[in-house]
Amino acid sequence: MKKIACFILLFSSATTAGAQQNTFIRNLLQRMTLDEKIGQLNLLTSDMDVTGPFMKENYKQDILSGACGAIFNAYTPQYTRQLQNMAMQTRLKIPLLFGYDVIHGHKTIFPIPLGEACTWDMALMEKSARIAAEEASADGLHWTFSPMVDIARDPRWGRVAEGVGEDTWYGMQAAKAKVKGYQGSDLAANNTILACVKHFALYGAAEAGRDYNTVDMSRRQMYQFYLPPYKAAIEAGVATVMTSFNEVDGIPATGNYWLLSELLRKEWGFRGFVVTDYTSINEMIPHGIVKNEYEAGELALKAGVDMDMQGGIYAGQLKKLVQNKKISMQEIDRAVTRVLEAKYKLGLFSDPYRYCDSQRAAAQIMSPAHLQAAREIAQRSIVLLKNSNNLLPLKKGAHVALIGPLADSKKDMIGNWSAAGDHKKAVTLREALQERVNLAYAQGANITGDTGLLKKLNITDTGRTDEMLQAAVEIARKAEVVVLALGESQGMSGEAASRSDIGLPANQRRLLEAILGAGKPVVLVLMNGRPLTLEWENAHVPAILETWFLGTQAGHAIADVLLGDYNPSGKITMTFPRNVGQVPIYYNHKNTGRPLDPNNKYTSKYLDVSNEPLYPFGYGLSYTTFAYDNLRLDKNSMRLRDKLRVSVTVTNSGALDGEEVVQLYIQDVTASVNRPVKELKGFQKIMLRKGESREVVFNITAEDLKFYDRNMQYTAEPGAFKVFVGTNSRDVAEAVFELQ
Ligand code: GLC
């Protein structure tokens, strides 16, 4: 009886709160003029940070006149209070919403998302979002333009850095974790913020990996591989959605009624508000879909866009569109209601300054606990790609030569999209190592020898390269071991940073060859925002660590792994190709009608490179080793309502305690639509003491076997299935079962 009473009480209080909200907003809407309504749909950037092509000068005037309802790129309690004060001088005192790209931390910066994804730890991914929300909300912010969940299979695209890689199911798990971390269980709490799933939709499939380029795929490809992570964020309750720059089925996402109304609202039931990406309404003109801003505004609003980011089109065109009866007041009210509901849920109408608390900022921002969490997550984001003759971990007290353009670069440690991150507080590898080993340091080379690129990246050329290289060779000769920190600058990935050649810059390769020539053991520490082509490096360097851009605690985390204080457990979530000619290359590919047969010329292959990637999805080594035995299914045939128990014995067969990510993949061998050779459907990250064995169990249900069939119905079809369990997507044990 008690439980039922509790439920009724909870249900009735929720409906009362909902009714109060609806009444409040209805009453407010009735008092608003058309100009005031349109102002709520206008999002402008402050001049504190710039994240797009241009910015409006007199945005403060727009706040004072009620022509702007939300600001992005403004934070600190002081500055947001100053701007909120302006909004409180408007006739109806509707509070401003403050948004920002809190992508991988606010002030305490965590690894870039593609790096953090290598932890295979959803609790940690939720934790970093929670900490980011704690700090951002303490710093005056209500809303983050995160998580970015765009599936991407092309590492030439710079924005792979912001996502979690190529796998749909993994992307769904990460999307849920991030939304939960940012929004918590109560948006009315002052330490939770609105999340914003982006970029809706399919932005990661830009042709040739060139940012903002055409996207073209079948409906089936969308539903099966690219849309599920956005849907997972919606199902997790994400408060807002951001439209993408690209077209979907030939119509830009920002003006795509099917995408924003039919799919997002009717099919998926999304009830929050939709904001565009930076000036993406304006960009429908160069897309060639509308003639002018008037048409662009009409198309966007009718498609389902509620808020115009920085385009000024809603501000400039909606009134005319209503006066010309192109858009109804009802359509305007629908958009305004959604925006006002978000502000109401945050509690901004009762206290517009509740996020402007300097005491909280001082207590929360970069607290020791947050920095410790950043170090732990950074450690777990590191992937050991190679470790010949157990060169790693290094002996404590070893005489180490640390060389490379990324060995002592604070700015690069926090990566791209590090928004409010303070790079001056980032710990470099040099700073961390010099406390712990006998260290010599030389930069050795610039990040690139391409002076044009240096200029584009705003990197000053730090001197004559041959002298720098010579000095580095000298210290290498005198050391026991060399640690070489090479890769990309943070500006070589992220937005508008596609690369057609994804190898190490040529001058860094020259440095690497010169250092190898010095005859000492070399550990290559990579810092980069995308999978790189490393076939030469993999053939010539004994030990390779992939460290991405690990954030504020980067140096400590890398040193912890180099010196064995943390045994690396990271696994890549995006395939590393052998060369860029293989791209797009991903593990969950189709078999084709002529799968590779080395003895048959007429099968799917290249003349000049293997079909296999250099490092496959899910790959990552440890300082110990793990053995997989005894893969067992509790039945070899299952009905739709059954659970199939899959178990495997994993043993730590090495000399050190370590964590292993046990991965479960499934193949639907024959179906009404051809299915990938394998798809990730589960994983478990386990800690095993040296010598310890453990049975790891997965339960497969019909849900794991579903796909979009020939009629686009999401269903499981009877037939043969393969199940794979292993340490990555390539090295697996397999078994078969039948779905009846
Ligand atoms: C940028 C990005 C988007 C970001 C927005 C605001 O152009 O595409 O991811 O959230 O503008 O900075």
Distance CA 164, CA 174 (A): 7
Radius of gyration of the chain (CA): 27
Atom of ligand 1 nearest to the CA of 145: 10
Q: Is the CB of 626 under 6 A from ligand 1?
A: no
| Nearest alpha-carbon partner for 251 in 206, 223, 290, 225 | 290
Is it the case that residue 57 has pLDDT exceeding 90?
no
Cα(568) to centroid of ligand 1, in Å?
A: 33
Averaged pLDDT for residues 255-265: 98
Kindly report the backbone phi and psi dihedral angles of residue 455, in degrees, each rounded to the nearest multiple of 5, phi listed first.
-65, -45
Q: Is the CB of 198 under 6 A from ligand 1?
A: yes
In the chain, pLDDT over 90 holds for what percent of residues? Answer: 93
Distance CA 181, CA 102 (A): 12
In the chain, CATH 2.60.40.10 covers 626-739
Contact between 675 and 707 (Cβ < 8 Å): yes
Contact between 133 and 107 (Cβ < 8 Å): no
Q: Is the CB of 162 under 6 A from ligand 1?
A: no
Contacts of 733 (CB under 8 A, 6+ apart): 628, 631, 648, 724, 725, 726
- pLDDT at residue 10, as a whole number: 67
Give the E-state strand segments of 424-561 in sequence order. 438-442, 481-487, 522-527, 543-546
Best mutation site among 277, 310, 417 for ligand 1 pocket (most ligand atoms within 8 Å of CB): 277
- In eight-state DSSP terms, residue 415 is -
Is it the case that residue 472 has pLDDT exceeding 80?
yes
pLDDT in tens, 492-535: 999 999 999 999 999 999 999 999 999 999 999 999 999 999 99
CA dist 104 to 241, 377, 429, Å?
A: 18, 11, 20
Distance CA 157, CA 205 (A): 9
Best mutation site among 145, 245, 254, 417 for ligand 1 pocket (most ligand atoms within 8 Å of CB): 145
> Whose Cα sits closest to atom 8 in ligand 1?
277
> Whose Cα sits closest to atom 10 in ligand 1?
145
Instruction: Identify the three-state secondary structure at position 524.
Output: strand
For the sheet with 719-726, list strands across it. 637-638, 732-739, 719-726, 658-668, 679-688
Instruction: Identify the three-state secondary structure at position 139.
Output: coil
Kindly report the backbone phi and psi dihedral angles of residue 630, in degrees, each rounded to the nearest multiple of 5, phi listed first.
60, 50
Structure tokens at 640: 């739709």
CA dist 444 to 402, 484, 515, 554, 577, Å?
A: 10, 9, 9, 20, 27
pLDDT in tens, 613-642: 999 999 999 999 999 999 999 999 999 999
Q: Is the CB of 283 under 6 A from ligand 1?
A: no
Kindly report the backbone phi and psi dihedral angles of residue 683, in degrees, each rounded to the nearest multiple of 5, phi listed first.
-160, 155
Contact between 721 and 739 (Cβ < 8 Å): yes
Q: Is the CB of 51 under 6 A from ligand 1?
A: yes
Averaged pLDDT for residues 47-63: 83
- pLDDT at residue 278, as a whole number: 97
The identity of residue 660, as a single letter, is: E
Contacts of 23 (CB under 8 A, 6+ apart): none
Weakest-pLDDT range from 208-217, 312-321, 464-473: 464-473
Distance CA 470, CA 457 (A): 25
Distance CA 63, CA 146 (A): 25
Averaged pLDDT for residues 436-452: 95
| Nearest alpha-carbon partner for 403 in 480, 488, 465, 482 | 482
Is it the case that residue 53 has pLDDT exceeding 80?
no
Atom of ligand 1 nearest to the CA of 245: 8
User: Is 277 annotated as catalytic?
Assistant: yes
> Whose Cα sits closest to atom 3 in ligand 1?
277
Cα(146) to centroid of ligand 1, in Å?
A: 10
Q: Is the CB of 277 under 6 A from ligand 1?
A: yes
In the chain, pLDDT over 70 holds for what percent of residues? Answer: 98
- pLDDT at residue 58, as a whole number: 87
Distance CA 365, CA 623 (A): 35
Residue 55's pLDDT band, with cuts at 50, 70 and 90, is: low
Average of per-residue pLDDT values in the chain: 96
Averaged pLDDT for residues 636-658: 98
- pLDDT at residue 49, as a whole number: 81
- In eight-state DSSP terms, residue 712 is S
- Which residues partner with 651 through β-bridges? 627, 693
Cα(307) to centroid of ligand 1, in Å?
A: 14
Considering 277, 308, 412, 560, which one is annotated as catalytic? 277
pLDDT in tens, 143-200: 999 999 999 999 999 999 999 999 999 999 999 999 999 999 999 999 999 999 999 9
Atom of ligand 1 nearest to the CA of 242: 10
Is it the case that residue 2 has pLDDT exceeding 80?
no
Beta strand 732-739 with 637-638 is: parallel
Q: Which is more confidently placed, 683 or 15?
A: 683
**CA dihedral in degrees (290, 293, 297, 303; nearest 10)?**
20
Q: Is the CB of 357 under 6 A from ligand 1?
A: no
Q: Is the CB of 412 under 6 A from ligand 1?
A: no
pLDDT in tens, 536-572: 999 999 999 999 999 999 999 999 999 999 999 999 9
Q: Is the CB of 237 under 6 A from ligand 1?
A: no
Give the E-state strand segments of 404-519 in sequence order. 438-442, 481-487
Is it the case that residue 397 has pLDDT exceeding 90?
no
CATH number of 626-739: 2.60.40.10
Structure tokens at 228: 């599920």
Q: DSSP labels for 64-93?
A: HTT---EEES--SHHHHHHHHHHHTTSTT-
- Which residues partner with 482 through β-bridges? 401, 522
Contact between 179 and 132 (Cβ < 8 Å): no
pLDDT in tens, 89-113: 999 999 999 999 999 999 999 999 9
Contact between 224 and 708 (Cβ < 8 Å): yes
Structure tokens at 630: 């005894």
Best mutation site among 71, 148, 495 for ligand 1 pocket (most ligand atoms within 8 Å of CB): 495
Q: Is the CB of 230 under 6 A from ligand 1?
A: no
Cα(278) to centroid of ligand 1, in Å?
A: 6
Q: Is the CB of 52 under 6 A from ligand 1?
A: yes
Q: DSSP labels for 191-253?
A: T--B-EEEEETTGGG-GGG-TT------HHHIIIIISHHHHHHHHTT-SEEEE-SSEETTEEG
- pLDDT at residue 463, as a whole number: 65
In the chain, CATH 3.40.50.1700 covers 374-582
Distance CA 418, CA 110 (A): 9
On whether the 374-582 domain is CATH 3.30.420.40, my answer is no
Is it the case that residue 11 has pLDDT exceeding 90?
no
Is it the case that residue 461 has pLDDT exceeding 90?
no
Cα(195) to centroid of ligand 1, in Å?
A: 14
CA dist 212 to 244, 355, 706, Å?
A: 9, 35, 32
- pLDDT at residue 596, as a whole number: 97
- pLDDT at residue 1, as a whole number: 66
